[in-house]
Amino acid sequence: MADITLLSSAQARPGFRFTYQGPAPVCRTCPYRHACLTLDVGRAYEVQRVRAVQHPCALQETTASVVEVAPVPRSFVVDARAAIVGATVDVARFGCRRLDCPNWGICAGPSLPVKQRFRVAVADNEPAECRIGRSLKRIEAV
Going residue by residue through the chain, which has 142 residues, state the pLDDT in tens, using 9 for 90 and above.
689 999 998 999 999 999 898 899 999 999 999 988 999 888 889 999 999 999 999 998 889 999 999 999 999 999 999 999 999 999 988 888 899 999 999 998 888 877 889 999 999 999 999 999 999 999 999 9
**Structural domain tally of the chain?**
2
What pTM value is reported for the model? 0.77
Q: What does the pLDDT read at residue 84? A: 95
Q: Please, what is the end-to-end C-alpha distance for the chain in angstroms?
A: 12
Do 98 and 133 belong together in one domain?
yes
Q: Which of 31, 56, 71 is the last residue of a domain?
A: 71
Segments forming the whole domain that contains residue 89: 74-141
Amino acid identity, position 27? C
Strands in 44-57's sheet, in edge-to-edge order, are 3-8, 62-71, 44-57, 17-19
Q: Which of 16, 44, 71 is the last residue of a domain?
A: 71
Report d(CA 116, CA 72) in Å as an integer: 14
Do 21 and 62 belong together in one domain?
yes
Do 124 and 106 belong together in one domain?
yes
Report d(CA 91, CA 115) in Å as an integer: 6
Report d(CA 113, CA 87) in Å as an integer: 18
Q: What does the pLDDT read at residue 72? A: 93
Q: What does the pLDDT read at residue 1? A: 64
Nearest by Cα to 35 from 64, 74, 78? 64
Q: What does the pLDDT read at residue 109? A: 85
Do 87 and 111 belong together in one domain?
yes
Do 44 and 79 belong together in one domain?
no
Report d(CA 42, CA 22) in Å as an integer: 8
Do 9 and 39 belong together in one domain?
yes
Q: How many residues does the chain have?
A: 142
Do 79 and 64 belong together in one domain?
no
